[in-house]
Amino acid sequence: MAKYIHSMFRVMDEARSVDFYKRVFDMTVADRLDFADFTLIYLSNGESGTELELTVNKGRTEPYDLGDGYGHVAFSVDDVDALHARLERDGFAPRKLVDFAPDGGERIARFFFIADPDGYQIEVLQRGGRFL
C-alpha cells in the first residue's frame, strides 16, 4: 500500500507563494528546510494530511517553464461560490465558475480555476460526491 503525502512546485519567491496559499487555501508552513542551494517549504492545513512542497532554488532569476505536461492540482471547498467571490474581491482573478454537466446531463461538478504566483493552475471544486 502507498500513501500519497505531497506534491511539489518550484517557485521563484517564497514569501509571495506562502502568502498566496495562506490567503487562498488557509495553508500554513508545517516545516521549512533550508539548504545551501535550495529551500523546501511544506504547507498544510487541517483539512488533509497531504502537503504542498514549495521548492525555492537559490540564485534562480528566470521563471520556470511549466511546459505542456503539467495539468493542475485540485482543492475541494465547502462553498465554492463564497470563495470565488472573496478571491475576486481580494484581486486574485479566479476564472469563471463552471457547472460541469457533459452533454447537458446531470451536473458532475461546480468549479473554477485560479493560477498561483508562478502560473501553476489550481482547480477549486465544490465539495461533494467524489470531490470530498
Residue 65: Cβ-neighbour burial (10 angstroms; 0-12, 13-18, 19+): exposed
Name the active-site residue from 47, 53, 88, 123: 123
Cell of residue 4, nine digits: 500519497
Q: Kindly state the helix (H) or strand (E) to which residue 101 belongs, with its residue range.
A: none
Cell 489550481 locates to 122
Q: Which residues contact 79 (CB under 8 A, 6 or more apart)?
A: 126
Cell of 122: 489550481
Report residue 39: phi and psi, to 5°.
Answer: -130, 140
Q: Look up cell 473554477; give the residue.
A: 112
Is 123 a catalytic site residue?
Answer: yes
Which residues are marked as active site? 123
